[in-house]
Structures are given as structure tokens and as C-alpha cells.
Amino acid sequence: MGSGRNVAVFGAYGHTGRFVVAELRERGYVPLLLGRDQDKLLALAQAQPGLETRQASVDDPASLDRALDGAAAVVNCAGPFATTAAPLVEAALRAGIPYVDVAAEIEANVDTFTNFAERARAAGTVVLPAMAFYGGLGDLLVTTAMGDWTAADEAHIAYGLSSWHPTAGTLASGTVSGQRRGGRRVRYAGGRLEYHDDALPTLEWPFPAPLGPQSVIGEFTMADVVTVPSHLAIPEVRTYMAAKAAADLSAGDASALTAVDELGRSAQTFVVDVLVRSGGAERRVAATGQDIYAISAPLAVEAVDRILTGRTRTTGVVSAGAVFDAPDFLRALSSHLSVDVPLDTRG
Ligand SMILES: NC(=O)c1ccc[n+]([C@@H]2O[C@H](COP(=O)([O-])OP(=O)(O)OC[C@H]3O[C@@H](n4cnc5c(N)ncnc54)[C@H](OP(=O)(O)O)[C@@H]3O)[C@@H](O)[C@H]2O)c1
């Protein structure tokens, strides 16, 4: 197998990184196991025989350059991304290879769009932040729901999670984002990110059957407020979280994350219900699946595969909905995700 199949995974031994490594192998790629801790890399290599490990640190650009040598692309799974994204994007640009990450941190994703847009475009390469459950999937669903609309008044993305036992990485990323906001809250309204101190509303969201209406926290703002407006003219983008999952996240018990199947997925199920409104018209699409961390792997790896096989629409720092054919992308994930729109009519 040639080096065109080598894909570097930074943070390979993390919870999400392991799913990405397994998915790359499943798809016939050769993952290069990258991370800052050599012992953890070696432990992963024992569980994944035949794979190369490369220790690298975001504080040491030369180590990143060595680690990316011969890679066709890099997937960054090491968060908080406030620390890791910029050094890895820089290294990918030096290596002349595409960069994909799974960042859910709103401010870190904004930084990637802001700081690398020109250089990524000039290099003719793809830099794709938030290519995961939060950020990437919501954007693919909103883009699909939009169909032939080029603008809308509002987009609403409601997360119907059965539970949310966060990983240590999720908790650390939430802490960093909270610090960057000075403890304030954020929402996307009037065409921009708005920082505020208002209490978050609790309301009922009409999820499709079989989940049905659920109590959700409104303005529970996720990375979709960066990815969606990066390419769609929608001045109000709002995200909602099932109240039960929000309570789990606040409890922050990483030890409760237990695998229940041979793929290593937890019992957590999700519905992502998307509604877009333009004038008096509404369009809707919903996706269901199991385990928000596990589903991030096929999302990121499908993105890598499309980039490496030239199935992209643009270059630069991009979101999934801008760079890929969104309905086609979702169709390709049908063994991982059920999407309830007639996708073949929304091409
Ligand atoms: N957008 C989404 O939907 C989505 C989905 C999945 C994950 N994520 C994000 O992805 C990140 C990882 O999540 P996870 O579930 O995999 O967490 P995890 O199991 O705790 O793994 C975190 C990984 O990041 C590495 N890491 C952290 N800081 C690092 C640094 N400065 N340099 C190098 N490596 C560093 C850790 O390495 P050490 O063990 O050496 O510290 C570990 O490999 C989090 O930010 C999470 O929010 C987002």
C-alpha cells in the first residue's frame, strides 16, 4: 500500500482518536499513530499491531514535521483545540497536506477560520475544523435541509441525546472555552456571535417519533454556530440540548462512559433535529444514531476520503456543508446514521 493511504491521527490514543484509527483501518487507510505520550502510543500500537507510532508535541514544530512525513492527510483528535489546532494546521500547511479536526470549541474553530483562511486558500489545500458530531453533522444536515435555498431566516438544531457522559477531553475543552468567554454565554444572533449573561431558557422541543417532545435547554450553543454561518446566509442559528443530557454534562462523570458493543460504542443514542425557516416556509431533516464520539469517526474519515479522492467543491478553511455534497455525504454514512429526508430529491 502506498504512502497515499497513510493518514496521521494526532491524539490517536484518546477516546475519539481510537475510533478514528479503527475507522481508517476499516476504510483501507494506514493510520500513523501520533501523540505527545510515547508510552500511550506504544500501548495503542500493541492493541493495533502493525501501525507506526510517532511521538510529537505541539510545542516542537520539528517533531510535528517528522510526524507528518509521508502522511497524505492529518486528523487532529487532541483537544483542547485552543492549544493543538494552530500548531497542527501550521504543520499541515508546511507539509502541503489537508487538515481535519474534531474540535467542538466555538472560539478555537473561529480562530481556525480567521487565522488560516488566506494561507489555506493560497496553498490550495483543505483545512476542515469541527468535522465531527458537533459542528460537522449539524452543518451537513442544515445544508441538506436548505436544498435549493441559498439563504434562510433561521436555523434550529436540536440535540436529543439520551444521556451524555463526557470524556476527559470534552470536559477540559469545556473548561478552556468557558475561560476564554470569561464565564459568559454565547449565542449566534443577528449574524454574529453574541456574548451575554442571560439565563438559558428551558422549553419543549418536538423531536420526531419515536423520541417525541422533550425538555431542552435553549441557546445551549454548539460549534454549528461557526460551521453553518461560515457558508450559509442565515442570521439566526440556534442550538438546543436535551435537558437530561445537559444535566449529565454538568455532573461531568467521565467514568460512566461504558462500551456496550463490539465497536466500543456506549449505549447513548442521539437524534439531531434540524429546522430551517425562510419567510413562511419550513424545511426539516433529522438524523439518528448511537454514540456521539463513535459517529465522529466515520464523519471525519469520510471527509478525509472525499478530500483525498478529489470530491471537494472548494479549498481553504471550510465547513463540511461548503466543501462536500451534503446529501451525498450523509447517504454515504447510511450504515452509521439514519437520515429522514428523501435525500435523492435534494441533490
Ligand atoms: N465536535 C465533536 O462532536 C467532538 C466529538 C468528539 C470529540 N471532540 C473533541 O475532541 C477532543 C478529544 O476528545 P476525546 O473524547 O478523544 O477525549 P480524551 O479521550 O480525553 O482524549 C484527549 C486526547 O487529547 C490529547 N491531548 C490533549 N491535550 C493535548 C496536547 N496539548 N498535546 C497533545 N495531545 C493532547 C490527549 O493526550 P494525553 O493523554 O497525552 O493528554 C488525548 O489523546 C475534545 O476536545 C472533544 O471535545 C469533539
- State the pairing for strand pair 154-161/338-339: unpaired
Closest protein CA for atom 9 of ligand 1:
103
pLDDT of residue 252: 83
| Nearest protein CA to atom 28 of ligand 1, as residue | 79
- C-alpha distance across the termini of the chain, in Å: 34
The mean pLDDT of the chain is 95
pLDDT at 193: 97
* DSSP notation for 1-46: --GGGEEEEETTTSHHHHHHHHHHHHTT-EEEEEES-HHHHHHHHH
Round to whole Å and give the CA distance between 235 and 153. 6
Query: What average pLDDT does this structure show over 311-334?
Result: 98
Cβ of 18 below 6 Å from ligand 1: no
Percent of the chain with pLDDT over 90: 93
| pLDDT value, residue 53 | 98
User: Distance between CA atoms of 44 and 189, rounded to whole angstroms?
Assistant: 43
Where does the pLDDT of residue 3 fall: very low under 50, low under 70, confident under 90, or very high at 90 and above? low
- Determine the atom of ligand 1 nearest the C-alpha atom of 166: 15
Ligand 1 centre and the CA of 325: distance in Å? 28
- Count other C-beta atoms under 10 Å from residue 65's C-beta: 14
pLDDT digits (tens, 9 = 90+) for 75-96: 999 999 999 999 999 999 999 9
Angstrom distances, CA of residue 283 to CA of 61, 143, 165, 271: 46, 11, 31, 17
342: left (phi over 0), alpha (psi -120 to 50) or beta: beta
* 284 alpha carbon – ligand 1 mean position (Å): 32
pLDDT tens across 11-49, in order?
A: 999 999 999 999 999 999 999 999 999 999 999 999 989
What was the pLDDT predicted at 347? 37
Cell numbers at residue 47, please?
492493541
**Local confidence band at 341 (pLDDT 50, 70, 90 cut-offs):** confident
Q: Is 300 within 8 Å of 102 (Cβ atoms)?
A: yes
Residue with cell 450553543: 221
Q: Mind listing the pLDDT tens digit for each residue in 40-77?
A: 999 999 998 999 999 999 999 999 999 999 999 999 99
pLDDT tens-digit map of 261-311 = 999 999 999 999 999 999 999 999 999 999 999 999 999 999 999 999 999
